[in-house]
Amino acid sequence: MIAQSVHHVSLTITDLERSRAFYEGILGLEPIPRPEMGLGGIWYGAGTAEIHLIVAPEGVDVGKTPPANNPVAPHLAFAIDDWQKTRDALAAHGLDLLAPSAEMGQMWVQDPDGYVLEFIVPRTA
C-alpha cells in the first residue's frame, strides 16, 4: 500500500485571525510547529492528522484553484515511508508527478477528476 494514512488537509484562507478564532476558539484545536514557507498560515493537530491553513498570497483568488503544485492549492496529503519507492510506483501507473522533491520528501499528483493528492514522508521532531 502506497498511502499509509491521512497526513494532512491543506486549506487556503483569506484572513488568518478570523480562521484562528474559528479553529482555536470554536473547534478547540491547538497550533503545532510549522516550517518557514514564505507564506502566512497556521497548522493544527487533529488527532493523528494535521490541518494546514495557508493564507492566500496577494492576487490569488481563493475561489479559483491554483496550479496543483502550488502550496496554496487545497489538497489531501498521504503519509508515506519511502519517497523513491512511492515515486516509482506512481510513475509506473503513468501519473504525472508535480514538483517532486526528494529533499522535502514530497510529491503531488492529480486524481482522475483533478483533485490534488500529496504524498509526504512525515518529518520527525
* Structural domain spans, the chain: 5-120
Distance of alpha carbon 119 from alpha carbon 100, whole angstroms: 9
* pLDDT for res 33: 95
* pLDDT for res 32: 97
pTM listed for this prediction: 0.65
Strand, coil or helix: what is 18?
A: helix
What torsion, rounded to 10 degrees, do the Cα atoms 33, 70, 117, 34 define? 0
Helix (H) or strand (E) holding 92: helix 83-92
* pLDDT for res 46: 86
* pLDDT for res 85: 92
Name the CATH superfamily for 5-120: 2,3-Dihydroxybiphenyl 1,2-Dioxygenase, domain 1 (3.10.180.10)
> Can you give the three-state secondary structure of 43-86, one letter per residue?
EEEECCEEEEEEECCCCCCCCCCCCCCCCCCCEEEEECCCHHHH
Query: Do the Cβ atoms of 76 and 119 come closer than 8 Å?
Result: no
* pLDDT for res 97: 86
* pLDDT for res 36: 87
* pLDDT for res 67: 61
10-residue mean pLDDT series, the chain (125 residues) = 85 87 86 90 92 83 62 77 91 85 84 76 75
Around Cβ 107, how many Cβ atoms within 10 Å? 24
